[in-house]
Amino acid sequence: MPKFIFVAGGVMSGIGKGVTTASIGKILTSKGYRVTAVKIDPYVNVDAGTMNPIEHGEVFVTGDGTECDQDVGNYERFIADNLTTDNYITTGRVYQAVINRERNLEYKGKCVEVVPHIPQEVINRIKKAARKTKADFVLIEIGGTVGEYQNSLFLEASRMMRLAAPNDVLFVLISYLPVPQIIGEMKSKPTQQAVRWLNMAGIQPDIIVARSLVPLDKPRKKKISVFCNVAKEDVISAPDIKSIYEIPLNFEKDRLGDRILRKFGMRTKRKGDLQDWKRLVRIIKTSKKPVKIGVVGKYFETGKFTLTDSYISVIEAIKHAAWFHKRKPEIHWLSSEDYEKNPKTLKELKEYDGIIVPGGFGGRGIEGKIKAIEYCRKNKIPFLGLCLGLQLSVIEFARHVCGIKKAHSAEFAESGDLVIDVMPEQKALIRDKKYGGTMRLGDYKCKLKPNTKSIKAYKTSNIVERHRHRYELNNEYREKLEKNGMVMAGINPEKDLVEIVELKKHPFFVAVQFHPEFKSRPTKPHPLFKEFIKAAVK
């Protein structure tokens, strides 16, 4: 019988519920158990695929092609597992399934009600994830904050599960303790209120993870213990730290893993010493020499704030590779629109050791990205293009090297030389406005050509990578591009689609149609990022 650990958030959002959940997973894995994690997002969207990155942050893609929340990416990076559509639940998915079943008469004439049918569907999905993964522990992160209207049905599902199997379900509340500058003291009242909210939903947390600026002192732990009705030892201190990869180590200082196992009457299978991560954290802390990487994008400006959430997997992949080379990753955000307004500023690219043009949608900012790519090509700056980054590299090369002046992508232009075009089956989908979940998504095979930078990086000629795009390199232009020196370094064998392009006589110019960033792990960086950073360091 698997054990279920629900994780909910109190006081406010953005306090790292995802990485906390992932860290609990890491700890239990290190103790010899099989762990999986499920993210519940309370929004009505069926999946994250139709949302704008500024609205939602990164859309993470699993191997089976599920477009989901970035927290699923955190789970994969921490637990080092490959997750699937079963690891992701939304209000939209739950209601859609229940309504479809009702239409098929599967409720056998019954009145289908919000309670219990909706929470029951949630429970079924959680149990399915447990069954399919054969996990000893299923972590379930409930999105949003307790007390919200939106996630109450998910809390209800957790309450029902606990009622049915009290010994198999645990509840963790991740809360926040502010230290208001003017008072100078850590305040516990908001956390007490959050627990009250949970109590009203019929739930008593077993463990409280207390996020704050600084570690909790004894009086604070005692106060939370008394007022929130949990043992002192179950109040876990989670202060702000520089690297998220240190969180599992910090939790273990408060013996979180043992507390969880004890509550389930279980024991450590293996001495969970987290050696690999201790080594990683040591490198993170001691790598002083920087490697300076510029990311040319557009999804990071909202008003006066810079949001880098849209590129979280790219950021993590850069970091993993930099640490592999014992360098301190220094990542800078470069706005492609600035290069359009003022091309003189392109010169700043010279200050970077490497440049990345990541994925993206829509025409805003693309000409600036093309200018940046041209600059990297001509000035031999190590360059890595991801998805849209490949498409724009091809347009740039077609325009400026092959002399195809009107080269463009069907995503942004209706006529001209569409060197990037849409696949025939995609045309019908766009015409019928069938946008949700219909891109080329998830794992596809790719065969690498000999004597390329890619094969040198991967050290094998058959790879599988994750995709999320509608447009492709148009094979009608392949010969012309090749004749002018663009190397088609990776091809999808089933459909003969170009997956990787490279340039010779350049220290590192590689662009890929897929998203390698999704498969990078902290202690196992992605081969392409590894080679890119190596070139950047050089």
Q: Minimum distance between the CB of residue 252 and ligand GLN, rounded to whole angstroms?
A: 37
Q: Minimum distance between the CB of residue 409 and ligand GLN, rounded to whole angstroms?
A: 8
Figure out which of the listed residues 468, 526, 530, 534 binds ligand GLN, where binding follows CB under 6 A: 468
Q: Minimum distance between the CB of residue 58 and ligand GLN, rounded to whole angstroms?
A: 11
Q: Which has the closest alpha carbon to 83: 132, 120, 47?
A: 132
402 labelled catalytic: no
Write the CB contacts of 201 (distance below 8 Å, at least 6 apart in sequence).
Answer: 146, 152, 155, 156, 159
**Is the previous residue joined to 290 through a cis bond, with omega within 30 degrees of 0?**
no
User: Strand pairing partners for 469?
Assistant: 440
Which residues inside 293-322 make contact with ligand GLN, applying CB under 6 A?
Answer: none
Tell me how far apart the alpha carbons of residues 40 and 504 are, in angstroms, rounded to a whole number. 46
Q: Minimum distance between the CB of residue 367 and ligand GLN, rounded to whole angstroms?
A: 15
Q: Does the protein bind ligand GLN through residue 411 (CB under 6 A)? A: yes
User: Strand pairing partners for 489?
Assistant: none
Q: Does the protein bind ligand GLN through residue 469 (CB under 6 A)? A: yes
Q: Which amino acid is at 51?
A: M
Figure out which of the listed residues 471, 508, 518, 529 binds ligand GLN, where binding follows CB under 6 A: 471
Write the CB contacts of 147 (distance below 8 Å, at least 6 apart in sequence).
Answer: 194, 197
Binding mask 385-404 vs ligand GLN (x if CB under 6 A, - otherwise)? --xx----------------
Q: Does the protein bind ligand GLN through residue 408 (CB under 6 A)? A: no
Q: Minimum distance between the CB of residue 411 and ligand GLN, rounded to whole angstroms?
A: 5
Which residues inside 346-375 make contact with ligand GLN, applying CB under 6 A?
Answer: 359-361
515 labelled catalytic: yes
Cα-based distances in Å from 3 to 165, 353, 490: 10, 47, 43
Q: Minimum distance between the CB of residue 387 and ligand GLN, rounded to whole angstroms?
A: 3
Tell me how far apart the alpha carbons of residues 198 and 420 are, in angstroms, rounded to a whole number. 52
Contact 386, 58 (CB under 8 A): no
Contact 247, 19 (CB under 8 A): yes
Q: Measured from the CB atom, is 271 or 435 closer to ligand GLN?
A: 435
Write the CB contacts of 384 (distance below 8 Å, at least 6 apart in sequence).
Answer: 354, 355, 356, 357, 508, 510, 511, 512, 528, 529, 532
> From the candidates 68, 376, 387, 402, which is the catalytic residue?
387
In the block, residue with structure tokens 């997956």: 499
Binding mask 496-525 vs ligand GLN (x if CB under 6 A, - otherwise)? ------------------------------
By CB under 6 A, the count of residues binding ligand GLN is 10
Q: Does the protein bind ligand GLN through residue 470 (CB under 6 A)? A: yes
Active site residues: 387, 515, 517
Residues near ligand GLN (CB under 6 A) are 359-361, 387-388, 411, 468-471
